[in-house]
Amino acid sequence: MKRLFLLFLLPALSVYFSSCQKIKEEIQKVTTTTVSTDIAVPVTIDKADIQLQADSTVFDIEKQYQITNNPVINEYKDKIQGVKVVGLKVRVVNADPENMTLRHAKFVLQELNNTTKAYEHNITKPFALTAGNVYIMHETDENWQLVNDIIDDLQDIKLRATGVADSPSGTFSHIDFEFVIKIKATASIEI
Whole-prediction pTM value? 0.78
pLDDT > 90 in the chain, percent? 37
> Does the domain spanning 32-190 belong to CATH 2.40.50?
no
**How many angstroms separate the Cα of 102 from the Cα of each of 115, 133, 150, 158, 170?**
27, 12, 27, 22, 14
Write the pLDDT tens digit of every residue in 136-159: 998 877 788 888 888 888 889 999
Q: Cα angle vertex 139, ends 147, 174, to 5°?
A: 65
Tens digits of residue pLDDT in 90-104: 999 999 888 889 999
Q: Where are the domains of the chain?
A: 32-190
What is the per-residue pLDDT for 79?
86
